[in-house]
Amino acid sequence: MKASAVTQSFKALANKINNQAPLGPKESNRLLTALTSSFRKHLDEVHPSKPHDDGKRPTVGVASQNTDRHDMHSSAVLADKHMASLLANPLLVKNPKLKPIREVEPDVNAQEAVIELNNGANPFELLESYHAKGRATIEVAVCVMRHFRLSIKDLSYENQVQKVQAEHAGSRVLSWLWNSEVMHSQAYVDNNQMQDGLVWLLMFEGHEEVLWQWLDSDLELRPPTKLVARSSRAVPGGLMWKSRILYAMVMTKLGRPHREARSADAALDIYFRAIGNVHGKEAAVNHRLILAGRAKLALDNAFTHGYLHHYYNTSPTLYDRFSADFTDRTAQYNTIKAAHDAWHRAVLDLWHPTQSKANALYDILLQEPSNEDGLYAVHERVRTPSNERERTFYINTIARAVTLLKTSGQYD
């Protein structure tokens, strides 16, 4: 679709949505338009282990008795030292220096909107009023959505949905966006809060299909100031706005009520549909994968970074399908991407809903990489995390691996 055709189709769609309720004078103005097997076991199989000080290893079975007859192999020593360096290297170094925060000129319209909102103004009537006066900016819209969400944050999920639907919140913000010049501005594509908030409202209002129709169009907007992925040049920059919309859709499905149910099934459905359909089935698959990159990272983080909201009730079939999106762990680590994908898949193994295991992760950490292969970059990142959050993640990941190995009887 051409941009003008897209605009017309969404105006028609918005009118269809808005006609679900009687239109008053204000509504007619507001609704104009329309989303290691054990560590030691693997090591012993290739390089026999060193006996304990008393000349005997703990009795674990025939395999233990056989390994007692071997002398320590030099490669095993190197492997042990290398693993020790990974675990003891500066995971606990001083916090890196924080980057200075760039000062941004305050939006006077948004500041005045906050005052009116705090004085009891209806958020969406305020947005429409500012639009009529030519004062509605992205920041004003963000303030409106933030104020509304804060006003309903303590309600149950069902009551939140009712509030969103009663206000036609998503439809009204989308209608304003499509009927204003800011839709094609740099401010819109660069403001994550605007995109995230709009998606949340539309999905709670029950208009997910509006978002899919928007995503499936070929509408081009300005490229984000910071492109989503390093490989984003493979996709026209004017289509990169879709990446944030998909991310916001996945994040919404990772929230209530799915978070309480500990299931990411709905979020995974969004991700797989995006890979299959976004921008039409004729588009190159790698284009769709790039556009879904942020959504993929959000899912990966939800599965591997969360102790409070771990999604352990996720369908094992969907989980395996998602994990398979990463390079097979048997591939050579000859590129940084292959090594990073193998790492991600190994970490996903730690949190599998029904068959969690740590062998693949330890296999990766056990190997001594050369400066020429992709594994070196993975090991360096474990050694020198870039921030406190990343450092905590590596500590928790290793702790999880140790727990799983001990639970499975792989004490060595």
- Per-residue pLDDT of 111-137, as tens digits, reads 999 999 999 999 999 999 999 999 999
User: Helix H segments across 280-335?
Assistant: 285-291, 293-304, 316-323
pTM for the whole thing? 0.73
pLDDT tens for 32-55 read: 343 334 444 444 554 454 444 444
Is 60 exceeded by the pLDDT of residue 335?
yes
What one-letter code names the amino acid at 63?
A: A
Percent of all residues in the chain with a pLDDT value above 90, rounded to a whole number: 47
Q: Does position 205 have pLDDT exceeding 80, yes or no?
A: yes
For 14, residues 6+ apart whose C-beta sits below 8 A from its C-beta are 31, 32, 33, 34, 171, 174, 175, 178
Structural contact between residues 287 and 232, judged by C-beta atoms closer than 8 angstroms: no
Q: What is the dihedral of CA 276, 281, 282, 288, to 10 degrees?
A: -30
Higher-scoring residue by pLDDT: 247, 337 = 247
Q: Cis before residue 48, ω within 30 degrees of 0? A: no
pLDDT at 328 over 80: no
Q: What token pair was written down for 138?
A: 């992205």
Would you state the pLDDT for residue 299?
95
* Distance from C-alpha of 145 to C-alpha of 127, rounded to nearest angstrom: 10
What average pLDDT does this structure show over 221-248? 77
Q: pLDDT value at position 348?
A: 95
Residues 371-380: tens digit of each pLDDT: 777 888 888 8
